Structure 1
Amino acid sequence: MNTSSVLEFVFTGLTDKNELNIPLFVIFLHVYITTVLGNVGIIIIVMVDKRLHKPMYLFLSNLSFVDLTYSSAITPKMLQDLLSETKAISFAGCAVQMYVFVSFATTECISLGIMAYDRYVAICSPLLYGVLMSSTLCFWMVVAAYVIGFMTALVHTIPSQFLLNFCRSNIIDHFFCDLPPLYKLSCSDTSMNLAVLIILGGLVSISCFILILFSYTNIILAILRIRSAQGKYKAFNTCTSHMTAVSVFYGTIFFMYLRPSTSYVLQQDRVASVFYSIIIALLNPFIYSLRNAEVKNAVKSFLKYF
């Protein structure tokens, strides 16, 4: 039969050492609370402070929403499993978790490319910035990122969850429903799924990465043409936070997904999975707020009301 006999999956979790469950629960509970506060804080500050009603910060608030959503698809369930003896998730729940994570992770990938293009226009064509980055264009760029993310997730989720047979076991050697561990579990031929994962994932991520490289190559060349040291510092400072976020996100994504299936070692990859699924969502608000003077000033103004 071309249907799965599995009604639920069981995660092995973050660790097989029970004595680490409580310490890990405490650590990741604090991480998740900080993630929620940091990203919600960025969204609220951008909404209430009119000085931040610019494309750069609207893209930043959208990035915070994306980070918050895909982190929330994974972390609460992981925290629950750390305190549970049976780390089970229903077949439908696994499909939903995978879909939400893949769609919003893809959206983040595209959003980082859009933000790089925004900085390129701001620094290389400042006089045309209002025309090239109009509110209407920015809106449709964000919509396009979500549409591509949702469609990409459908391409991965439907074949992975509803066209593969899971007749060997229902134990996923991971802490959430990610694609490579699920392919390892299936008794069907997953070569086509892996090919789609690498090709489609590579098409989206590498296209965005090329856009980022193009943008920052031109930004660096433009900065080098600035005569004053203060002007160079100001221009460079507006980009360092985004460059840091891009390096962290793309480094882990390329490591996890754009490599041959034979190189997947699930035990070793858990650390990388924790990083891109949980830690990046924690880091982004701090990367952008600590390196950006306008955001820091907006935070100080906002805190005066409390």
Structure 2
Amino acid sequence: MAPGGNQRGDVTEFTLAGFPNLNSTRVELFSVLLLVYLLTLTGNVLIVGVVRADTRLQNPMYFFLGKLSCLEILLTSVIIPKMLSNFLSGKYTISFAACITQFYFYFFLLASEFLLLAFMSVDRYLAICHPLHYPLLMSGAVCFRVALACWMWGLLPVLGPTVAVALLPFCKQGAVVQHFFCDSGPLLRLAGTNTKKLEETDFVLASLVIVSSLMITVVSYGHIVLAVVCIPSTSGHQKAFSACTSHLMLVTLSYGSAIFLYVQPSQSGSVDANWEVTVITTFVTPLLNPFIYALSNERVKEALKDMFRKVVADF
């Protein structure tokens, strides 16, 4: 343990530094965060509801879209409500137990999301490149097992690093997490011991989850592009590409920011400039997800219109 460091049990809470140069505008920042959270909840809850209620959306593509919206709801709920309560109370603190819990669920949900995005790309590949075998390959039972696997494969790998972080000796003096939530790099920087091995483990796990799922996505869309090029009609090109454009937009945002943040050997030494990129994974992507899919998918738009008409008619 480093000189002057205290045992982990002496640290009962951390202070969250928040957003650099923005904490002075507390009212404005609270209003923006509240609006983002409400829009994210509303949009993703609508997607989940319409997918479950409308028979036209009972196929694997929309099944996975509903699961993705569930993950987005949970991911933002892990971070934003605590931030909002801190702004209201004026105390930017988080208990040690809450910090470790937030750490675990953030990375668990993020890993599950990347795995789900990879399977969504495989689903599009099978639908476009193997349409005759698609109903058998992506049956309801298969979709359920795939969704369950995404949750389990995100749940288990994160458990070990979380326990390791929880057992680290943290220095009580200056226990300020230089971030707006309990992210990996800022927490490791506070440890009163050498965290090189833990950082290397995090790097390997992040590379396996993020890079492997990205490669699956790239290969899937590579086959899709080749298949679409062979379609003789222009309308066929447009229909095939429109089904994938929204997914590609979300994938680009998600993977780009995650690779920048977590696929690096050392995270504790580069936390000061990372909060802007983290905003993409924690706020922007969950917010854009329902709008990207709803606004670019005619079937989803029609289902939403019908649902609103039914609600209005009932009143």
Query: What TM-score bracket applies, with the shorter chain setting the length?
Result: over 0.9
**Correspondence list, 1:1-306, <5 A:** 3-261=8-266, 264-305=269-310, 306=312
Q: What is the CA distance between 1:28 and its match in structure 2?
A: 1.2
Aligned-partner Cα distance in 2 for 1:108–1:229:
33
Q: Is the 8 A contact 1:9 1:171 kept in 2?
A: yes
Aligned-partner Cα distance in 1 for 2:292–2:208:
27
Aligned-partner Cα distance in 1 for 2:281–2:89:
24
Q: CA RMSD in A?
A: 1.5
Q: What is the CA distance between 1:86 and its match in structure 2?
A: 2.1
Aligned-partner Cα distance in 1 for 2:169–2:178:
17
Query: Under a length normalisation based on structure 1, what TM-score does the superposition of the two structures give?
Result: 0.96
Q: Is the 8 A contact 1:99 1:157 kept in 2?
A: yes
What per-residue deviation string (whole Å, max 9, x for no partner) do you get for residues 189-217 of structure 1? 11111111110110011111111011000
> Post-superposition, which runs of at least 4 consecutive aligned residues in structure 1 deviate over 4 A?
none
Name the CA shift for 1:90/1:262 in 2 (closer, same or farther; >3 Å): closer
What per-residue deviation string (whole Å, max 9, x for no partner) do you get for residues 165-224 of structure 1? 444532111111111100111111111111111101100111111110110000000000
Aligned-partner Cα distance in 2 for 1:98–1:125:
40
Q: What is the CA distance between 1:19 and its match in structure 2?
A: 3.4
Q: Is the 8 A contact 1:249 1:280 kept in 2?
A: yes
Aligned-partner Cα distance in 1 for 2:7–2:74:
32
Q: Is the 8 A contact 1:168 1:185 kept in 2?
A: no
Report how many residues are paired: 306
Query: Under a length normalisation based on structure 2, what TM-score does the superposition of the two structures give?
Result: 0.93
Aligned-partner Cα distance in 2 for 1:93–1:39:
25
Q: Is the 8 A contact 2:50 2:303 kept in 1?
A: yes
Q: Is the 8 A contact 1:166 1:187 kept in 2?
A: yes
Q: Is the 8 A contact 2:44 2:70 kept in 1?
A: yes
Q: What is the CA distance between 1:18 and its match in structure 2?
A: 4.5
Q: Report the identity percentage.
A: 37
